[in-house]
């Protein structure tokens, strides 16, 4: 760093991507300052993945209590207390926030709890103290925020995923709008916790971009768990009878206590000063970057949701790490965004890696589809009406597995391990020679021998 600068790196945003980049860069000897205007940890830790998953766990006890009867248990007086969950969840989030803080400080990063904006390619203004900091490089890792759309009358009465974590009581009735990760996950949580839940989506299937059969399996399961309205849109929201009334395009009225809109997120670029350095964002506000997360301004980089590449925590972390390796570690690295295992924490869960069947057919031409749809062993005694779906897609020309899709309990856990094999380029023959772990649901992945079959195994062996 030349003496013209106060720091080598100024990171704007203390979420997953920013924190990782700051720590790794500092580890390589860079002098790093990080500004966070709210709470270190960002969306994932404070108002996203972590508190959401804790709520998913809370909801799943409902199924467990129901299922227990088939195994001889009597579960009496099981009641759920939202305030206990909220208090314990919030305490855990605060604990994690402290760990993030400590890790940054231990790594030698200076944290400034203020809003930072860009003045020029090497200057940051801290709005709280109104001081400026000169930085050799700037990393923008400011994330995104949920939108309140569609823009219909009364939409201001709705909440977004941010406010879910502030609710003091469990809504008796909730309308969730959207068909993406967030709508699907929260609709599942509220339904499981006992809210009368309606999930409204404008499309005829949930989770656009996922494999069609997985989408159908989800719709079937959700149709049993909640009021699922597909192919309908919201026309307006009014206050009515101490609650809310949502009117749909078909004239139907849904009475509820909360309306949660989960219709997408937009990069947090407003007021950041991008115009001062000539960075032009795209139609939704995303910052353009190259494979090394460098913007058109050479001293300014961006990672995570603000770049709208793949808006997932582990991807932001990788992008932040790769940036630090490249710029401060002498190890040029970029993130391969093509193969990203991911999970949707619906109940049942979804885990995927690789292409959908439709995409695989388009890319590879001839593919084999190995498919199993079966009742999990646990359901034989619990009586639960739910099926697991597993699909393995194989490129016939190379025998490589190019997509795995799982709909069922613990799909997220399973797909993480399968993701290693698929990332390594595993072939169907590799899957076939892997010995099954019995009795599990996941053993289906290595025992499917004939393409396009439907089986009903119940742990025979």
Instruction: Give catalytic residue positions.
Output: 438
Q: Quick check: 265 binds ligand NDP (CB under 6 A)?
A: yes
Q: Is 413 annotated as a binding residue?
A: no
From residue 277, alpha-carbon distances to 118, 122, 272, 283, 285 in Å are 8, 10, 10, 18, 15
**Cβ nearer to ligand NDP, comparing 173 with 202:** 202
Binding mask 182-221 for ligand NDP (x = CB under 6 A): xx-x---------------xxx----x-------------
Backbone torsion region of residue 150, taken as left when φ is above 0, otherwise alpha when ψ lies between -120 and 50, otherwise beta = beta
Residue 181 touches ligand NDP, criterion: CB under 6 A:
yes
Closest-by-Cβ residue to ligand NDP is 180
Residue 224 Cβ vs ligand NDP, minimum distance, rounded to whole Å: 21
| Residue 343 assigned to a binding site | no
Residue 15 or 329 having the CB closest to ligand NDP? 15
* Nearest distance, CB of residue 52 and ligand NDP, angstroms: 7
Binding to ligand NDP by CB under 6 A, coded x per residue (else -) over 104-143, reads ----------------------------------------
By DSSP bridging, strand 7-12 and strand 32-35 are: parallel
The reply, when asked if residue 180 is annotated as ligand binding, is yes
What would the x/- binding string for ligand NDP be over residues 316 to 345, using CB under 6 A? --------------------------xxxx
Of the candidate residues 217, 228, 245, 312, the single one contacting ligand NDP (CB under 6 A): 312
User: What is the C-alpha separation between 104 and 395, in angstroms, rounded?
Assistant: 45
- Total chain residues near ligand NDP (CB under 6 A): 23
Q: How far is the CB of 178 from ligand NDP (least distance, A)?
A: 4
Q: With binding defined as CB under 6 A, does residue 179 bind ligand NDP?
A: yes
Alpha carbon 409 to its chain's center:
18
**The one segment of 175-183, 213-221, 282-290, 400-408 that binds ligand NDP by CB under 6 A:** 175-183
Torsional sign, CA 36, 21, 339, 284: positive
Candidates 59-67, 212-220, 263-271, 366-374 — which segment interacts with ligand NDP by CB under 6 A? 263-271
Touching ligand NDP, residues 142-161 (CB under 6 A): 149-150
Task: Establish if 264 lies at the interface with ligand NDP (CB under 6 A).
Answer: yes
Told to check if 180 binds ligand NDP by CB under 6 A, we report yes
182 is in an annotated binding site: yes
Tokens for 293?
């997360």
Regarding 26 and contact with ligand NDP (CB under 6 A), the answer is no
Residue whose CB is less far from ligand NDP, 225 or 229 = 229
CB of 311 to ligand NDP, least distance (A): 4
Does the annotation flag 12 for ligand binding?
Answer: no
Which residues form the interface with ligand NDP (CB under 6 A)?
149-150, 178-183, 185, 201-203, 208, 262-265, 311-312, 342-345
Give the residue ranges of the annotated binding site for FAD.
Answer: 53
């Amino acid at each position: 760093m030349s003496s013209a600068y106060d720091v080598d790196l100024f990171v704007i945003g203390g979420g997953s991507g920013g924190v990782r980049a700051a720590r790794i860069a500092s580890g390589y000897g860079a002098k790093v300052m990080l500004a966070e205007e709210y709470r270190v940890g960002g969306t994932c830790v404070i108002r996203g993945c972590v508190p959401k998953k804790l709520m998913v766990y809370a909801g799943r006890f409902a199924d467990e209590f129901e299922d227990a009867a088939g195994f001889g248990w009597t579960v009496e007086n099981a009641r759920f207390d939202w305030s206990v969950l909220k208090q314990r969840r919030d305490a855990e989030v605060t604990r994690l926030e402290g760990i993030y803080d400590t890790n940054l400080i231990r790594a030698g990063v200076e944290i400034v709890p203020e809003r930072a904006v860009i003045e020029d390619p090497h200057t940051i203004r801290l709005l709280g103290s109104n001081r400026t900091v000169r930085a050799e490089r700037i990393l923008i890792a400011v994330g995104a925020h949920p939108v309140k759309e569609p823009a219909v009358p009364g939409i201001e009465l709705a909440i977004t995923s941010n406010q879910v974590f502030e609710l003091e009581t469990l809504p008796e009735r909730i309308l969730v709008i959207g068909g993406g990760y967030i709508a699907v996950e929260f609709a599942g949580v509220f339904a499981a916790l006992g809210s009368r839940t309606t999930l409204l989506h404008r499309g005829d299937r949930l989770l656009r971009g996922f494999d069609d059969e997985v989408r159908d399996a989800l719709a079937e399961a959700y149709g049993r768990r909640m009021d699922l309205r597909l192919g309908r849109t919201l026309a307006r929201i009014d206050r009515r009878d101490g609650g809310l009334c949502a009117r749909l395009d078909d004239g139907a009225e849904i009475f509820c206590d909360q309306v949660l809109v989960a219709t997408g997120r937009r990069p947090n670029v407003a007021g950041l000063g991008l115009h001062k350095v000539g960075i032009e964002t795209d139609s939704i506000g995303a910052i353009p970057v190259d494979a090394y997360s460098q913007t058109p301004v050479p001293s300014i980089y961006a990672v995570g949701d603000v770049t709208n590449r793949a808006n997932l925590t582990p991807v932001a972390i990788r992008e932040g790490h790769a940036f630090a390796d490249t710029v401060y570690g002498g190890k040029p690295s970029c993130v391969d965004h093509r193969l990203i295992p991911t999970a949707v924490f619906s109940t049942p869960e979804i885990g995927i890696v690789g292409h959908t069947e439709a995409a695989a057919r388009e890319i590879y031409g001839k593919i084999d589809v190995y498919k199993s749809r079966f009742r999990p062993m646990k359901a034989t005694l619990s009586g639960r009406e739910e099926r697991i779906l597993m699909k393995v897609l194989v490129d016939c020309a190379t025998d490589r597995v190019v997509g795995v899709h799982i709909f069922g309990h613990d799909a997220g856990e399973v797909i993480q391990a399968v993701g290693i094999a698929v990332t390594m380029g595993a072939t169907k023959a590799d899957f076939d020679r892997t010995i099954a772990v019995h009795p599990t649901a996941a053993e289906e992945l290595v025992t499917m021998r004939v393409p396009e079959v439907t089986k009903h195994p119940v742990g025979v062996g």
